[in-house]
């Protein structure tokens, strides 16, 4: 029966949004879950929700053109005979050869070395492109053992035992058959063209005591020379940091939920883990409770894009940060110059995340020679160096404005939070107050 009154306008459900319905239809049509690269795409509390207070009368700023603000960092000072000294506290995170092309690895090495920082291998082992162009190279020791080689352990400057990643704590990665070229297959000792899943846990340990034994083994193989990092995803950062320290780590690498990945299930990226903002204070608390803050260094990652992000992470207590996605963007990933080709792949610049398919028009996340030969590693390295330099200058500008003569002197007291969530997670006061949720038990 029609009513004499106007109809209620059509309303779409917030819960069953267009995106949610499209995913239901995609799943119904294909019968497989969505796999993609990159980090979480939903809104999460992040560094943007914090602000620096800056100096005025009660704090005295430093003069940019005359007064020094240092940016260097030592990593691995606890046990290693040869700790690492970097000019800047922004490092390049582990990204696998396989996910990335050889020329992309070379560009990471070139850019990082020119900027005075380190690069990191990844699942799939050490390439000559990266070793040859990286002044300081961290070698990942992963659950998968893909590309693991004891000689390469000795050729590295530090070793990173990967327990987990922020994009998928508790899970393993994927490298689909399209990207398993002859070379990738040879390095991983697995068949060409067949999908590979990386293990979610190390095959030879079942808990923290085994981690301690493994770290001792790695120290012996490398004659106690190299710093040993332990990388954890942002799951239970207080206990995981404490256990890594107990197991003998020189450095803890903490990767929050925003952290990128080469490829895994979308449901994992979007629904497992904790934002990096929530993880840092818990890891710092664990280090402080053990009397190890600044003795065991903390590197944090997950969605870091600017010098402001770097400065905020350091003000919360990190010694350094690592970047993955931002480094790829600096090299040329998702650049609008490739828009016509992104459109052919059914996507658009800024949204391209099918890195597992190996069709990257920028030649970065591919093993197809036609595509990766488009990428110029010298130019890519220069772009990365410029970007790292800008991030460092930005962080220094902020530190000076807070009256600090070293980035490490930034502290939570320099910050305020814009939202209740950020205040609660970062444990810094809500703007305009001296309070954050949880302070004094309230």
Ligand X SMILES: Cc1cc2nc3c(=O)[nH]c(=O)nc-3n(C[C@H](O)[C@H](O)[C@H](O)COP(=O)(O)O)c2cc1C
Binding site for ligand X (CB under 6 A): 37, 39, 93-96, 99-100, 122-123, 140, 162, 165-166, 231, 255, 258-262, 301-304, 323-326, 355, 365
Measured CA to CA, the distance from residue 327 to residue 112 in angstroms comes to 10
Measured CA to CA, the distance from residue 401 to residue 395 in angstroms comes to 10
Q: Least CB distance from residue 365 to ligand X, whole Å?
A: 6
Are residues 432 and 419 in contact, defined by beta-carbon separation less than 8 angstroms?
Answer: no
Residue (39 or 429) nearer to ligand X, CB: 39
Residue (304 or 416) nearer to ligand X, CB: 304
Q: Least CB distance from residue 320 to ligand X, whole Å?
A: 13
Sign of the Cα pseudo-torsion (399, 402, 405, 411, in order): negative
> Closest-CB residue for ligand X?
324
CB atoms under 10 Å from CB of 387, counted, come to 21
Residue (153 or 290) nearer to ligand X, CB: 153
Residue (368 or 411) nearer to ligand X, CB: 368
Residue (71 or 264) nearer to ligand X, CB: 264
Strand partners, 253: 231, 299
Q: Least CB distance from residue 146 to ligand X, whole Å?
A: 9
Q: Least CB distance from residue 318 to ligand X, whole Å?
A: 13
Q: Least CB distance from residue 178 to ligand X, whole Å?
A: 15
Q: Least CB distance from residue 196 to ligand X, whole Å?
A: 12
Nearest alpha carbon to residue 300 among 113, 46, 83:
46
Helix, strand, coil share (%) of the chain residues, nearest 5: 40, 15, 45
Measured CA to CA, the distance from residue 420 to residue 418 in angstroms comes to 7
Residues 6+ apart with CB under 8 A from 394: 306, 307, 308, 310, 311
Residue (227 or 260) nearer to ligand X, CB: 260
């Amino acid at each position: 029966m029609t009513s004499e009154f106007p109809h209620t306008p059509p309303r779409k459900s917030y819960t069953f949004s267009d995106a949610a319905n499209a995913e239901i239809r995609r799943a119904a049509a294909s019968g497989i879950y969505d796999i993609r690269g990159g980090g979480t795409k939903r809104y999460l509390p992040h560094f943007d929700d914090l602000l620096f207070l800056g100096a005025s009368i009660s704090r005295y700023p430093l003069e940019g053109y005359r007064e020094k603000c240092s940016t260097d960092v030592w990593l691995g000072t606890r046990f290693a005979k040869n700790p690492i000294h970097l000019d800047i506290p922004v490092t390049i995170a582990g990204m696998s050869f396989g996910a990335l092309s050889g020329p992309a690895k070379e560009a990471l090495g070139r850019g990082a070395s020119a900027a005075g920082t380190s690069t990191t291998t990844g699942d799939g082992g050490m390439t000559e492109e990266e070793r040859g162009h990286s002044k300081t190279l961290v070698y990942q020791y992963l659950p998968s053992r893909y590309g693991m080689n004891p000689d390469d352990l000795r050729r590295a400057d530090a070793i990173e035992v990967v327990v987990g990643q922020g994009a998928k704590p508790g899970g393993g990665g994927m490298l689909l058959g399209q990207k398993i070229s002859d070379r990738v297959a040879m390095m991983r000792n697995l068949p060409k063209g067949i999908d590979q899943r990386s293990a979610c846990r190390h095959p030879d340990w079942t808990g923290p005591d085994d981690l301690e034994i493994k770290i001792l083994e790695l120290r012996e193989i490398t004659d106690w020379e190299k710093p040993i990092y332990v990388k954890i995803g942002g799951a239970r950062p207080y206990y995981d940091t404490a256990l890594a320290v107990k197991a003998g780590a020189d450095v803890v690498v903490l990767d929050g939920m925003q952290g990128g990945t080469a490829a895994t299930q979308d449901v994992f990226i979007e629904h497992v883990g904790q934002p990096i903002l929530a993880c840092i204070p818990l890891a710092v608390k664990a280090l402080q409770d053990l009397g190890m803050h600044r003795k065991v260094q903390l590197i944090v990652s997950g969605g870091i894009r600017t010098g402001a992000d770097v400065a905020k992470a350091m003000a919360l207590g990190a010694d350094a940060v690592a970047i993955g996605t931002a480094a790829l963007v600096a090299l040329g990933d998702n650049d609008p110059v490739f828009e016509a080709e992104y459109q052919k792949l059914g996507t658009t610049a800024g949204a391209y995340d099918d890195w597992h398919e190996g069709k990257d028009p920028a030649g970065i996340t591919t093993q197809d020679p036609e595509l990766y030969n488009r990428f110029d590693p010298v130019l890519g390295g220069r772009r990365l160096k410029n970007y790292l330099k800008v991030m460092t200058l930005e962080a220094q500008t902020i530190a000076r404005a807070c009256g600090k003569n070293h980035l490490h002197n930034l502290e939570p007291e320099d910050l305020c939070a814009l939202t209740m969530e950020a205040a609660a997670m970062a444990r810094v006061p809500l703007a305009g107050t001296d309070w954050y949720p949880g302070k004094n038990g309230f």
